[in-house]
A and B are shown apart, each in its own frame.
Chain A
Amino acid sequence: MATRDIHVQPRLARVFSYRPQRSALLPSIGIAVGLLAAGLGVFHRAPPERNRVPPGYVALVNQKGILLSDLMSQSMTELGKPFSEVTPEERARVLREMIDEELLVQRAVVLDLPETTTEVREAMTGGVNAQVAAPLLAEQPTDEQLRAYYDAHRSKYTADGSMSVRDLVLHIGGYENADQSMAQANIDATEAVYQLRAGTAIDYVMEHFGLADSGRTKNGNEPDFAAKLHLGDTLYAAASKMAEGEVSDPVSDTDGLHVLIMERRRPPSTADFASARAAVYADYREDIGKAAQRENVRILRSQAQIILAPGESE
């Protein structure tokens, strides 16, 4: 260790060249600053415990506050009168109920009911969905928006039609003429259609050209959806365009050539905007609510870490 004796110097020179080499001040400041900095890392302030109810609150339940505004609205809802008319006894009773409710909610949180109880999970998901949709639902749609929605979803406001249709089929290469070609069958079917449109009796045409009842329309008059189900997509597409009494052109399907005779037809009817407005309004709001919920879930998924077990998919 180097010697630290201060050499004897002329007084003036000593004054100007003095260095407090052994002063405890600087190391002490260093120790204090170092400890302070380290202390800030090692220790932190304990969360403050409230012993007094802060302004705007009426009670603290396990450090959780009950707002005065909540007490006022609860009192008015429960008692059905303005808060100014609520008596002290009534106010105390409502507050007691609110404290009980808060205790039960806190207990539910401790018991982790959202993880374990289906009803709580449903209520919570419903609550979140309602919350994300609320800002959009608060805005009243204009007539232009509703009309645009109506135009885009006209099928929603269309009442189903009904039809009674007879379906005759010409099986190609049937037992009477095993060598019949597609072209020959087409000529026969076209001729049959010509005769039917000319007013020839159906039974005669069937017998003459070898047409048979397809069996797809045994139920007589039936709604469009049922007719579509029975006829199949190809034949229904032709039938839906026919008017009452009309005979279709030959329609090719898997089992041969079909001729449709529309006996009775009530076409689908679409309600006009004015009469469907209430339904359009409800559907519009439901759709924007669902869109908000989908967007919310999309965001949540983008922020979530979801790991599926091997072999699982969603």
Chain B
Amino acid sequence: MSRIPLALLCLLLACAANAAPRPAGSTDVSYSVWTISGSSVLVKFLLPTPVAQSLSGADVPVLTTRKLGDYLLQHLAVQAGGRNCPAVDQGYDLGKADPLAVGEGLYGFEILFRCPGTARLRLHNHAVFSRSPGHIDFARVEKKGHSAEQLFTAGREELAVPDSAAMPAAGVGSYVRLGAVHLAVGLDRLCFLLGLLLLIRRKEDAAYAFAALVAGYVLSMAVSAPGWIVPRASLLEAFVGLMVALLAALITLRELRQPRVSALGCPALLAALALAAAFIHAHLAALVLFGGAVFAGSLLKAADWFPARTWLVTAVLVGFLDGFVLPSALAPLPLSVSSQLWMTAGFDAGAVLVAALAMGAPLGVYLLVRRRLQAATPRALLNELAAACLGGLGTFWLVSRLYA
């Protein structure tokens, strides 16, 4: 199981061609809280600054606030009994969208809708989706002291509120879908998973790799659910980039038999970056890079001495880091541990399913055509190309996200 399917390499090269820096963490999200009180519906809408600025096209906070308020008024709506509920001016001559002070990195607005009745309420959220189809709005609907977590996504921009029963929460399937999409469009994750295949030599290695990934997700759920630690999103994403680069070093070390180049080059590059980060007083980045250098050096040495399954550590780590994506995105919403655990479990399950597909499909294809490939494929060249792509992409993601 040491030959690389050509298709895998093509995909890696395609990744290289589309190496636009992915936003750190899941920043293409928004948050809304819909409080239903009799015939009034108060909507509190929160937008992260990058999303807000991309919507308004203005960097000046005052202009952003004004434009966003108008934009949200046009894209949020409530209906009762099939009739539109008008937004109400809440005073102070500010108009119908009150800007809120909701802390650094977020823009907040409040809109009050007064409905002609209380029956057959429908909540509409069409904000951002037309501009960014992958956008997710994490919503909370509160009614009569009961709250339910819901999702607005492209194509699911309307929620019906039951008249008598409590509002149901979004099913776990919604979060599975989110997790699946997250991994399917995450080029860095896909590159890592495909790169991982290059280290697989036996059938059981594939099972171990997948199990390591799942173990990482489970570990992250256990750590993130109590809310004791919170990731710094940009550094977390940078570390995923580091994992991709480290994978390239492992391939070089194992497949191409150039231990010195990869065992010294990778940690040396990270140490140099750490020094540069320290020089510009980016102390946290320097700490991450320094830790990454020690980790990479030690892992490569261990892989040199014990080549069997040392590389699985990287799979555990990527699963662990990716498991923090949803908890990090949900941070602005105060959620109970059980709610967050439920949502994260669904999200991670979706990610794991896609990971299984991303790893399993190429492996299956390879198993089918391996006899033909063995004769035709120049193994060393393909490995070298794959390692070069992964190394370049990983370093690019690491550096670009470190200072995002």
Contacts and interface: CB of A to CB of B under 8 A. Distances in A.
Residue among B102, B239, B257 facing the most chain A CB atoms (10 A cut-off): B239
Interface stretch (B118-126, B210-218, B297-305): B297-305
A44 B232 contact: yes
B319 interface: no
A84 interface: no
Contact of B290 (A28, A31, A37, A117): A37
A41 B230 contact: no
Contacts of A1: 257, 259, 304
A38 B302 contact: no
A38 B287 contact: yes
Contact of A42 (B99, B232, B299): B232
Interface string B308-346: 000001000100010000000000000000000000000
B39 to A, nearest CB: 22
Contact of B302 (A27, A46, A117): A27
Nearest to B317: A35
Contacts of B232: 41-44
Interface string B275-309: 00000000011111011111111110110111000
B98 interface: yes
Nearest to B227: A46
B182 to A, nearest CB: 19
Interface stretch (A104-112, A203-211, A297-305): A104-112
A116 interface: yes
B363 interface: no
B176 interface: no
B99 A22 contact: no
Contacts of B313: 31
Residue among A21, A34, A39, A46 facing the most chain B CB atoms (10 A cut-off): A34
Interface residues of A, number: 32
A45 interface: yes
Nearest to B313: A31
Interface string A96-131: 000000000000011110011100000000000000
A108 to B, nearest CB: 10
A22 B239 CA distance: 28
A110 B106 CA distance: 12
A85 B298 CA distance: 70
Contacts of B257: 1
B298 A30 contact: yes
A35 B313 CA distance: 11
Given A27-B302, A43-B232, A37 B291 contact: yes
B101 A111 contact: yes
8 contacts: A22-B305, A34-B294, A36-B291, A38-B287, A39-B291, A110-B102, A111-B101, A117-B92
Interface of B: 92, 94, 98-102, 108, 110, 227-232, 235-236, 239, 257, 259, 284-288, 290-299, 301-302, 304-306, 313, 317, 321
Given A34-B298, A46-B230, 19 more contacts: A1-B304, A27-B302, A30-B301, A31-B298, A34-B293, A34-B297, A34-B299, A35-B291, A37-B291, A38-B292, A38-B295, A41-B288, A42-B288, A43-B231, A43-B236, A44-B230, A46-B227, A49-B227, A111-B101
